[in-house]
Amino acid sequence: MLTQALPDLNAWTRRFSEAEIPVLPGTAQEIEALRQINDASDSVDAHQLAQSIAGDPLMTLKVLSHVAKHRPSRLVTDAETVTAAIVLMGIGPFFRAFDRLKTIDEHLQDQPVALRGLQRVLKRAYRAANFALGFAVHRMDNDAAIIQEAALLHDFAEMLLWCHAPSLAVEIAKRQHADPTLRSAVVQRSVLNVELGELEQALMRVWRLPELLIHITDDRHASHPQVRTVMLAIRLARHTQHGWDNAALPDDFADIAELLNVAPHVAQAKALALDA
């Protein structure tokens, strides 16, 4: 576990690019159950495996980074979704590559505060992915599945921070709780010497993740409709993580309404329905 900040982006990128990525306990259990079914009947397909991973950004990250790293040079297109990645790998190689998955509960068994912090980020990511998919479908975006995946993965650097530098993650949370007006980027740079957004982009490029996924998760391209879809979904998930009475929500609904080309009250109703 890191207890002190690393000096710069390169140091953080090297450390996290080599760090183990634990997964949700439910994911590990489902994959093991599918492994046993496949051993008995050879009947598991890529869609079933992808469904067992859906909603787990950490396992999604493991699969996409593994496939990108081992992608044959003859392939000119990226595996942009988990399903496509599993199809590219094959069922047998998938089970061999992801045997005895370590879970977040095991990894953080002596760090209950960090485990709770990580679980909050994971829940927020799941809700953001759900919002993003709903907004993308409304816009009839052909890349709706990738947009959903981008929202799920958007805060993965924060997840890795809770896993591998929990005391630093706690310090960031304490400072933001003490002063809610603090911008996330400012407190992150103060504590870590790096912003988590730039660390995410660096890691995605080191892992050679799909270019479209890298683009959609990059907040610097906020004017692009797909990037904006993800950003608004993330924002909505953050502002509603403790309920639907946050003072920032009217602005969120106004921006979502502009994205979806509907009235603000329609955007609000849609957001509530997606979260039901």
pLDDT of res. 220 = 87
End-to-end CA gap in the chain: 38
Residue that the structure tokens 């509530």 belong to = 272
Task: Give the rounded percent of residues in the chain with a pLDDT score beyond 90.
Answer: 86
The rounded mean pLDDT for the chain is 94
Q: Which of 50, 83, 101 is the endpoint of a domain? A: 101
167 and 46 within one domain: no
Residue 222 inside a domain? The answer is yes
Q: Say yes or no: 142 and 58 in one domain.
A: no
Query: In terms of pLDDT, which residue wins out, 70 or 25?
Result: 25
- In terms of domains, do 158 and 266 share one? yes
Which of the four pLDDT bands, split at 50, 70 and 90, describes residue 235?
very high
Whether 12 is in a domain gets the answer: no
The pLDDT tens digits of the residues spanning 61-111 come to 999 999 988 876 665 567 788 999 999 999 999 999 999 899 999 999 999
pLDDT of residue 243: 94
CB atoms closer than 10 angstroms to residue 205? 12
| Predicted pLDDT at 180 | 84
One domain, residues 68 and 192: no
Using an 8 Å Cβ cutoff, are 199 and 15 in contact?
no
pTM for this prediction: 0.93
- Please check whether residues 125 and 255 belong to one and the same domain: yes
Per-residue pLDDT reduced to its tens digit, 204-227 = 999 999 888 999 999 888 889 999
Examine the fold and report which residue of 101, 128, 157 is the final residue of a domain before the chain moves on.
101
Confidence (pLDDT) at 93: 93
pLDDT at 73: 61
The residue among 101, 129, 162 that closes a domain is: 101
Range of the domain at 27: 23-101
Average pLDDT of the residues in 177-183: 89
261 lies in the same domain as 216: yes
249 part of a folded domain? yes
Same domain, 97 and 121: no
Judge if 202 and 80 occupy the same domain. no
